[in-house]
Amino acid sequence: MHNNLTAEIEARLPGPVTQLVRTVGRTAARHGFNSYLVGGIVRDILLNRPSADIDIMIDGDAIKLARAIADNAGARLFVHKAFGTARFDLEGYRIDLSTCRSESYDRPGALPRVKPGNICDDLLRRDFSINAMALCINPTDFGVLTDLYGGVADLEGRVIRVMHDRSFEDDATRIMRAVRYEQRLSFKLERRTARLLKLDIDMLDSISGDRLKHEVLLWLTEQRPGGIIRRAGKLGVLQKLHPSLQWNRQMQIAFRRAAKIPDGASANHIYFSLMAYQMGEGALYELLQRLNLLGSKYDLLSHQCLALKNRLPQLDRPLIKNSEIFSLVQDVEPPAVQVNWLYPNPLAVRRSLRLYLRKLMHIKTSVTGNDLVQWGLKQGPGVGMVLNKLLAARLDGEVKTRAEEEKLARRLAAI
Ligand code: CTP
């Protein structure tokens, strides 16, 4: 590999984003600072993979620099004074400017103590060698790679390697990140890293619920969450989230089937519920509590999944009527039905769930409550009762047209 990556940067980023990056570099140079692309964007440029987040480190005041270019940047600027960072949003890219820092940890799991530093300190504090490279963006050295810790070699060797032996102790969320990158990139944990991960696995207990939640949700937004959960199960990481969580054949089948359905808005929630599907009520509560997810949509959906799961034996009849399927399933949302369908349940059950999702949930009566009232039925619970019976008749194919429905409605309501 050659050492100047200007062409790769320009090929990977849209023109206006490259322009902004160059502007940052020029302005940094005028202020006497060095500026670098770092972390994920460098890794992804080298791998020729897309990346929507661009981290830029400055060995000087990042906010001051961002303000100096804001007027000519052609992008909106957001300043986070408390974090000492500034962000531009441009063409769907988030471009973050921060000041280089060195970090030390007072105790495992604590947030780091931070001091200003140079790019070498800044790269050293990072999680893995493949995330610890920098590309200079100052004009004189634009595109020059800084790879002090063997990042390129590890990209070529396809391994995830921690920077030092205390990495997971310093920040155990890196355990979950390691699994995520390994599966995303189809890399392998380097031998020593895998050993440290297992040694330090209990450090996950020191991580706050919110940070764990963040990492779990990042797993679930990856392209192949099943692979991540499988690997996390094998490494004992899943069990750290809750002792009863484990990867098994049923989960494998469900995740494999889920990979074939298009990603919708509820994909994360579905994946979470697939992961938690085999837990009992008490264990599920504990998991949701550990991840600070009580009361969230994840909580709601996984409980709906459980409620439906408890009713599945009643669906396990080959001659069940459509209206019976409907009444057993209708009170849970479609994603909860989908989760139950994805799991290896008895054939009759899966057929009923699929029929519900494909057809039954979309069926409506054509006669409405207003029609019934207009025809002389008194407003009140009687209206709902008649509509329910009409719907059951529709579902079971006993009435097919509006005229047949009206006839049945009049008979049922005696109007
Ligand atoms: N980082 C770290 N330790 C962490 C989190 C982040 O060292 N616990 C560093 C890594 O160098 C990482 C960078 O901060 O590359 C940015 O973090 P993040 O945005 O989470 O990672 P990306 O590499 O951009 O990854 P992704 O592709 O998942 O967005």
Out of 61-75, 138-152, 294-308, 386-400, pick the least confident. 61-75
Instruction: Identify the residue whose tokens are 């380097």.
Output: 190
Query: For residues 183 and 180, what is the distance between their CA atoms, to the nearest angstrom?
Result: 5
Q: Kindly give, in sequence order, each residue whose CB lies less than 8 Å from that of residue 51, ignoring residues fewer than 6 positions away.
A: 12, 40, 41, 43, 44, 45
Sign of the CA dihedral with 109 first, then 52, 233, and 192 last: negative
Q: What is the pLDDT of residue 176?
A: 98
Residue 92 pLDDT level (bands cut at 50, 70, 90): very high
Length of the chain: 415
Mean pLDDT of 139-147: 97
- pLDDT, tens digit, for every residue of 267-326? 999 999 999 999 999 999 999 999 999 999 999 999 999 999 999 999 999 899 999 999
Is pLDDT of 251 > 80?
Answer: yes
Question: What token pair was written down for 145?
Answer: 């790679």
Q: Compute, in angstroms, the gap from residue 40 CA to the centroid of ligand 1.
A: 6
Q: Is 74 helix (H, G, I), strand (E, B) or coil?
A: coil
Q: What is the pLDDT of residue 3?
A: 75
Q: What is the pLDDT of residue 2?
A: 63
Is pLDDT of 223 > 80?
Answer: yes
Q: The domain 6-157: what is its CATH number?
A: 3.30.460.10
Out of 125-134, 264-273, 371-380, give the one with best mean pLDDT: 125-134
HSE on the CB side for 90, CA within 13 Å?
21
Mean pLDDT of 361-374: 95
Q: Compute, in angstroms, the gap from residue 346 CA to the centroid of ligand 1.
A: 43
Nearest to residue 388, comparing CAs of 323, 336, 313, 329? 323
Mean pLDDT of 56-83: 90
Contact by Cβ (8 Å): 127, 39:
no
Q: Whose CA is nearest to atom 25 of ligand 1?
A: 40
Out of 100-104, 334-338, 363-367, pick the least confident. 100-104
Q: What is the pLDDT of residue 117?
A: 83
Residue 266 pLDDT level (bands cut at 50, 70, 90): confident
Q: Compute, in angstroms, the gap from residue 131 CA to the centroid of ligand 1.
A: 7
Is pLDDT of 352 > 80?
Answer: yes
Q: Compute, in angstroms, the gap from residue 411 CA to the centroid of ligand 1.
A: 67
* Burial zone of 252 (CB within 10 Å; 0-12 exposed, 13-18 middle, 19+ buried): middle
Contact by Cβ (8 Å): 122, 130:
no
Q: Whose CA is nearest to atom 8 of ligand 1?
A: 174
Mean pLDDT of 32-46: 97
Q: Whose CA is nearest to atom 3 of ligand 1?
A: 127
* Annotated domain spans of the chain: 6-157, 222-362, 369-413
Q: Kindly give, in sequence order, each residue whose CB lies less than 8 Å from that of residue 259, ignoring residues fewer than 6 positions away.
A: 224, 226
CB atoms within 10 A of CB 114: 14
Is pLDDT of 116 > 90?
Answer: no
Phi/psi-derived region of residue 99, left when phi > 0, alpha when psi is between -120 and 50, beta in every other case = beta
Ligand 1 atom showing the smallest separation from residue 171 Cα? 8
Ligand 1 is surrounded, with C-beta below 6 A, by: 39-40, 51, 53, 55, 126-127, 131-132, 171, 173-174, 177
Residue 263 pLDDT level (bands cut at 50, 70, 90): confident
Ligand 1 atom showing the smallest separation from residue 127 Cα? 7
Out of 43-52, 96-105, 279-288, pick the least confident. 96-105
For 31-161, where are the alpha helices, taking DSSP H only?
Answer: 40-47, 62-73, 119-124, 151-157
Could you tell which of 126, 174, 176 is best to mutate to test the pocket of ligand 1, judged by most ligand atoms within 8 Å of the CB?
126
Is pLDDT of 1 > 70?
Answer: no
Q: Compute, in angstroms, the gap from residue 397 CA to the centroid of ligand 1.
A: 56
Mean pLDDT of 191-216: 97
Residue 341 pLDDT level (bands cut at 50, 70, 90): very high
What's the mean per-residue pLDDT of the chain?
Answer: 94
Could you tell which of 43, 49, 53 is best to mutate to test the pocket of ligand 1, judged by most ligand atoms within 8 Å of the CB?
53
Query: For residues 128 and 108, what is the distance between their CA atoms, to the nearest angstrom?
Result: 18
Residue 5 pLDDT level (bands cut at 50, 70, 90): very high
Is pLDDT of 159 > 90?
Answer: yes
Query: For residues 103 and 167, what is the distance between their CA atoms, to the nearest angstrom?
Result: 12
Q: Compute, in angstroms, the gap from residue 127 CA to the centroid of ligand 1.
A: 7
Q: Compute, in angstroms, the gap from residue 110 CA to the centroid of ligand 1.
A: 17
Q: Kindly give, in sequence order, each residue whose CB lies less than 8 Å from that of residue 361, ignoring residues fewer than 6 positions away.
A: 326, 329, 330, 334, 337
Q: Compute, in angstroms, the gap from residue 281 CA to the centroid of ligand 1.
A: 35
Could you tell which of 38, 41, 55, 105 is best to mutate to test the pocket of ligand 1, judged by most ligand atoms within 8 Å of the CB?
55
